[in-house]
C-alpha cells in the first residue's frame, strides 16, 4: 500500500502503544517513575522495548550486553524475554539511576538475571573481552554516550557470536541526520557510524525506524 514508512503523529503513537504493546506492571511502574526524573527522554519507547524482547526470543538469546542502564527499562524488557538461565550485563556511569533501576527488576522477579556494572562502558567491554567472553554474547544494545558508538560497535562485534545481533539506538537522532544543513557533533557521529556499518561486510543490517531509530547489525 505504501513504499514509505508512515510519519508518526502523537495520536498514531498512542494507538500503537495502546493496541500493540503489552507491558508488565514493573515496566509500567518504571515508566511512571522515570517520567518525572531528569533525563526522562533518554528512556526507550515501550514499543522499542517490546521489539527488542521479540528479537531476543527469536534469537533464542541467553547472553545480552547493554551499554546505558539509566533507570533500567530496556534491561528489564530484555531480561523478561530471556530464559531462566539468561543474563543481561548492563553498565552505566551513574550510580543513582542504576540504583533506581533495581527496584523494577526486583518487582518483575528478574533481578537475578541482571548484572549491573558501574563505570565507563569501554571498561566493561574491555573487561569482558579480557575475561575470555569474546564470541559468547547473543545480543548487544548500545545506548550510552554517542561519541563512543564507533568503539562500542567494534568491541560488541568482538563479543558477539556468529549470528548475534548488535542494536544501536538513536541513529536517526531526532531526524537531524537527514538535515544536510545540520552539522551538530552527535548528528555527524550518527551519520558516520551508520555509513560505516552499511559498508561493513562483517554484518547484515536493518535500520528500523522505530522510536529514534534502531540500527541492527547481525554478525555473519
Ligand X SMILES: C[S@@+](CC[C@H](N)C(=O)[O-])C[C@H]1O[C@@H](n2cnc3c(N)ncnc32)[C@H](O)[C@@H]1O
* Degrees to nearest 5, angle at CA 203 with 65 and 142: 30
Rounded Cα distance between 62 and 84, Å, is 9
CB of 48 to ligand X, least distance (A): 8
Q: Which residues bind ligand X (CB under 6 A)?
A: 42-44, 67-68, 70-71, 73-74, 91-94, 97, 120-121, 143-145
Cell numbers representing residue 20 in the block: 500493540
* Degrees to nearest 5, angle at CA 216 with 185 and 34: 70
Nearer to ligand X, 181 or 193 (CB): 193
Nearer to ligand X, 68 or 213 (CB): 68
Nearer to ligand X, 74 or 187 (CB): 74
CB of 97 to ligand X, least distance (A): 5
CB of 109 to ligand X, least distance (A): 19
Contact 125, 152 (CB under 8 A): yes
CB of 219 to ligand X, least distance (A): 21
Rounded Cα distance between 220 and 217, Å, is 9
Nearer to ligand X, 117 or 219 (CB): 117
Amino acid at each position: 500500500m505504501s513504499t514509505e514508512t508512515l510519519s508518526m503523529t502523537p495520536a498514531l503513537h498512542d494507538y500503537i502503544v495502546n493496541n500493540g504493546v503489552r507491558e508488565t506492571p514493573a515496566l509500567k511502574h518504571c515508566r511512571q517513575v522515570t517520567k518525572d526524573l531528569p533525563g526522562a527522554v533518554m528512556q526507550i519507547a515501550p514499543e522499542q522495548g517490546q521489539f527488542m524482547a521479540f528479537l531476543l526470543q527469536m534469537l533464542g538469546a541467553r547472553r545480552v550486553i547493554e551499554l546505558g542502564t539509566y533507570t533500567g527499562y530496556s534491561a528489564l524488557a530484555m531480561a523478561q524475554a530471556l530464559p531462566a538461565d539468561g543474563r543481561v550485563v548492563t553498565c552505566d556511569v551513574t550510580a543513582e539511576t542504576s540504583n533506581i533501576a533495581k527496584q523494577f527488576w526486583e518487582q518483575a522477579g528478574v533481578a537475578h538475571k541482571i548484572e549491573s556494572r558501574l563505570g565507563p562502558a569501554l571498561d566493561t567491554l574491555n573487561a569482558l573481552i579480557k575475561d575470555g567472553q569474546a564470541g559468547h554474547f547473543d545480543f548487544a544494545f548500545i545506548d550510552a554516550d554517542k561519541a563512543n558508538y564507533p568503539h562500542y560497535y567494534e568491541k560488541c562485534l568482538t563479543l558477539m557470536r556468529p549470528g548475534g545481533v548488535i542494536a544501536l539506538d538513536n541513529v536517526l537522532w531526532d531526524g537531524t541526520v537527514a538535515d544536510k544543513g545540520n552539522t551538530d557533533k552527535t548528528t555527524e557521529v550518527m551519520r558516520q557510524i551508520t555509513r560505516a556499518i552499511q559498508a561493513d561486510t562483517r554484518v547484515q543490517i536493518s535500520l528500523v525506524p522505530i522510536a529514534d531509530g534502531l540500527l541492527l547489525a547481525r554478525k555473519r
